[in-house]
Amino acid sequence: MNEASPRLSVIMPAHRAAGILPETLGALLASDMPREEFELIVVVDGDVMGYGDDRTAEVAREYVDVVVRLPGKPRGPSYARNRGAEVARGEYLAFIDADVYAHPDTLRKILETFENRPDIDAVFGSYDDCPTASGIVSKYRNLLHHYVHTAHPGEAETFWAGCGAIRSRVFEGVGMYDEWHFSQPQIEDIELGRRLRRRGHRILLEPSILVRHLKRWTLGNVLKTDLKHRGVPWMRLILHEGPSAGGSTLNVEPVHRWCVILAFLAVLGLLVAVVLLEPWPLLVTVGGVLGIVVANAGFFRVLLSAGGWRVALGSVVLHWLFYVANGLSAVSGWLAFFFVGAPQPPADVAAFDEIGVETWPPIPSRPKDSVWYKHGQ
């Protein structure tokens, strides 16, 4: 491209997102950051290349500078983000999910953070406290994320790709996202954060960098995410690599381990009451659930102020199930690690490693024939 290189490249992976892109891309274009200082890149993962009813690439072209089309089956956000980074020109790479609505100052605050903190190599923000999706489950889930991030500002041991940014040279230097182990949305951002920290890079959680999550959650996809896509892979990663460089962080603090114990005591009380057909074991259940509420009083105050009594009361059971899922994830991940082993790379990756290929991914695949530029080459 002929234009001067932008300072910030915003990379958005998208799969069948035609319906939501006008809102989320429109929000990015409404940024109070000068337009010439950032470029927008959408990577269409699993693009149907004109067939079927998916118009993600067509819609994206109306808003962005670069559209990368990846035909065939979806390969996951890790692969898509890496392909976007390969065509990016900015000094900094900002990763924004397709269902995330940026505030007007989001991009500016990302850039200002890097300028004000030259010692920081990556930064990520948080969801705000005004989720738009209706329903108790959606409000609970998005406010939980908001609370966890805003309650733990400062240096972090992990990374978040929903709204996170990294210096492009650092991103390339650590090997980008691990697209080989994570072919679907899982813990690819957590793994990247751990890799950054092991290489001596510093990550900042800056809760003033806010975005709004537009996703509608159901109880089913909450439990599936916590168990299959986050909890079990995270536990296997910890067992394989050891604790993170700085110890406990975010929702793995000691108080949360105690809450897992309380959650299972509550389950035990419920099971005993059902087996014995007696009400007294329910006192254990009530005590365990109340203990979780007390231990998470700060979070429930946020639920009450942002969602009202209905959301706060409904979230009592949801938060209990959250800790039950955490406990099941830890046990399942432990069993998977010791009976199946650590996650293994595909055979082709292992083969390249044996012959000493050190780049990661071992075969960069810039999809030149699938890149569209708004302003031409």
pLDDT, tens digit (0-9, with 9 covering 90-100), for 95-143: 999 999 999 999 999 999 999 999 999 999 999 999 988 899 999 999 9
- pLDDT tens-digit map of 210-237: 999 999 999 888 888 777 766 566 666 6
Give the mean pLDDT of 253-264.
88
Give the mean pLDDT of 321-333.
82
> What pTM does this model have?
0.86
- C-alpha–C-alpha distance, residues 363 and 370, integer Å: 17
At 51 the pLDDT is: 42
At 223 the pLDDT is: 83
Instruction: Using CA atoms of 280, 285, 289, 292 in order, give the dihedral in degrees to the nearest 10.
Output: 110
261 backbone dihedrals φ, ψ, rounded to 5°: -65, -45
The contacts of residue 61 (CB under 8 Å, 6+ apart) are 67, 372, 374
At 5 the pLDDT is: 86
- C-alpha–C-alpha distance, residues 47 and 69, integer Å: 6
Helix/strand/coil for 70: strand
